[in-house]
Amino acid sequence: MKKIVLAFSGGLDTSFCVPYLIDQGFEVHTVFVNTGGTSVDEEMSISNRADELGAANHTNINVEESLWQEIIKPLVWSGATYQNKYPALCSDRYLIVKEAVKQCQELGTEYIAHGCTGMGNDQVRFDLSIQSLGKFKIITPIREIQNTVSDVRNYEKEYLEGKGFEVPSLHSKYSINVNLLGATASGSEIDEWDEPSDASFILCNQPNNYPNQSKKFAIEFKHGEAIAIDGEAIMGSNLLKSLNQMGGEYGVGREIFTGDTIIGLKGRFLFEAPGLAILYKAHRALEESLLTREQNTFKPMIGQKWVDLVYSGLYFDPLVKNLETFLKDIQTNINGIVDVVLSPGKVDAVAVHSDHILISKEGSYAQSASWGVEEAAGFIKLYGQSTETWTEINKK
C-alpha cells in the first residue's frame, strides 16, 4: 500500500478522508498540528479518533512557539490587517503544512492529503505551500467528491455511518477554528449576513458579562517583541495566551468581517483576536513615538504587502522573507513600556515610556521652539511654493 500523510483535525472532513483514502489503496498516516487552540484532552480525543478510523499511525505536534516566532512576531511588526480588518488568523496553516511535509519526508512518501474543500481559501494555502516545499502528489478527497454529489457534508456523514463510525457533532451550529492567534466562526446565520447568536462567542465574554471596572497594565517590548506584562517576564505563546484571556474578558478584538476570498467569492465570518488587538495597539503606540516621520510613513506599505501575501497563500514566496528582513531591522530601537487600558469592547494605549522617544531639544509641539516668526514664515512660504505657483498660473 502507498503511504500517505493526512493533515488531520478530527472534524467531519478529515474524519471522512481517512477511510476514503484507505479505500483508495493508501496506508494513511495522520498528523495533528496543535497551533495553540487545543487542550491535552482534546489532543487525546483526536488521537483516538484517528486510531478508530483506521490510521496506520497518528502523530500530535505542538508548534505554538514556532507560530510565535515565525508568524506572530512579523504579523505584529507589520501592524497590518487584510482589507483593513482581518489580522490573518489563518496564517497558522503554513506551519501545519510544514509539519505534514516533514512527516512525508520521514516516511519517504510523495503522497500528502488534506481535507480542504474547493470553495475556500485554505485549499490555496495548503496546495501552494506543499508545492513550494517539494515535489509531492496532493490528494484532496473533499474536492474529488464535490462535483459528483449534491450535498457533500451529508455524503460524508452517510459514508462514515455506513462504515460503522460515529459522526462528529462538535460545533454543529458553526464551523469554528481556534488557534493561538484567535478564533473564527462561520456558518448558520453568519453566512446569511444575519446577526450572530450568543453561541458565536468563543474567546470573548458577551457584553452583559464585561467587567464593571477598567483594567490597566503595562507591556514591555524589546526590539519590537513583547517580553513582559507588568514587569513579569513572559514571552511567546504564554504571553499571547495571557492577553487573549484578559482581552477576552472585555470583548476586545471581536469583529464581523466580510472579505474577498482568494478565489473571488465573498466570505463572511466572525473572528475574535483579543490578544492581537492589544499587541497591535501597544506596539503601534511605541512605533509612533520612536520611528521617524519617513519610517512611520513607509513601513505600513511593507507591512501591508506582508499580510496580503500571507493571507493569499504565498507565505513561502521569497518576498515574504525579504519583507521580514526590513520589518525586523526597523524594530531595532523599538524598546520601551506601553501602559494599556482595557474597557468594555475597547483597548487604549495611554502612556509610552522609552529612552528612544524622538523628543527634539529644539522645540516641543504646541509648546515652545528655538526658531522665531521669520524662520517659521520663511519655511512655510518655501514649503508651499509649488502649490502657490500652480494656483497663480491656473486660476481663472
Predicted local confidence at residue 381, as pLDDT:
82
Is the confidence at residue 169, as pLDDT, over 80? Answer: no
Confidence of residue 368 (pLDDT cuts 50, 70, 90): low
- Chain-centroid distance of CA 164 in Å reads 37
DSSP classification of residue 86: B
Percentage, residues of the chain above pLDDT 90: 82
Residue partners of 197: CB distance under 8 A and separation at least 6: 173, 188, 189
Give the dihedral sign, CA 160/162/166/167. positive
Terminal Cα distance for the chain, rounded = 83
Give the chain's mean pLDDT.
93
Poorest-pLDDT segment among 56-65, 120-129, 172-181: 172-181
User: Phi and psi of 61, rounded to 5°?
Assistant: -130, 130
- Look at 388 and 202; give whichever has higher pLDDT: 202
Is the confidence at residue 80, as pLDDT, over 80? Answer: yes
Q: Give the type of residue at 273.
A: A
Is the confidence at residue 171, as pLDDT, over 50? Answer: no
Residue 208: CB atoms within 10 Å: 6
Predicted local confidence at residue 150, as pLDDT:
86
Confidence of residue 382 (pLDDT cuts 50, 70, 90): confident
Is the confidence at residue 60, as pLDDT, over 60? Answer: yes
CATH 3.40.50.620 fits 176-291+330-353, yes or no: no
Residue 216: CB atoms within 10 Å: 14
Percentage, residues of the chain above pLDDT 70: 96
DSSP classification of residue 195: P
Which of 173, 235, 160, 228 is CA-nearest to residue 201?
173
Residues 283, 303: contact at Cβ < 8 Å?
no
Confidence of residue 362 (pLDDT cuts 50, 70, 90): low
**C-alpha cell belonging to residue 166:** 460515529
Predicted local confidence at residue 9, as pLDDT:
94
**C-alpha cell belonging to residue 295:** 519610517
H or E element in which residue 131 lies? helix 122-133
Distance CA 155, CA 169 (A): 15
Residue 277: CB atoms within 10 Å: 23
Distance CA 210, CA 190 (A): 23
Q: Give the type of residue at 325.
A: T
Task: Identify the architecture of domain 2-67+82-170 in CATH.
Answer: 3-Layer(aba) Sandwich (3.40)
Confidence of residue 118 (pLDDT cuts 50, 70, 90): confident
Is the confidence at residue 164, as pLDDT, over 80? Answer: yes
> Hey, where are the domains in the chain?
2-67+82-170, 176-291+330-353, 366-394
Confidence of residue 130 (pLDDT cuts 50, 70, 90): very high
Residues 336, 355: contact at Cβ < 8 Å?
yes
Is the confidence at residue 198, as pLDDT, over 50? Answer: yes
Distance CA 253, CA 349 (A): 15
Residue partners of 195: CB distance under 8 A and separation at least 6: 189
Tell me: the pLDDT tens digits for 325-354?
A: 999 999 999 999 999 999 999 999 999 999
Predicted local confidence at residue 172, as pLDDT:
62
Predicted local confidence at residue 168, as pLDDT:
65
Confidence of residue 360 (pLDDT cuts 50, 70, 90): low
**C-alpha cell belonging to residue 47:** 488521537
Question: β-strand 2-7 against 26-34: which pairing, if any?
Answer: parallel
Tell me: the pLDDT tens digits for 137-159?
A: 999 999 999 888 888 989 999 99
Highest mean pLDDT among 28-42, 171-185, 382-396: 28-42
Predicted local confidence at residue 235, as pLDDT:
86
* Sheet of 336-343, strand order: 232-233, 225-229, 215-222, 336-343, 346-353
Return the bridge partners of 137, or none.
111
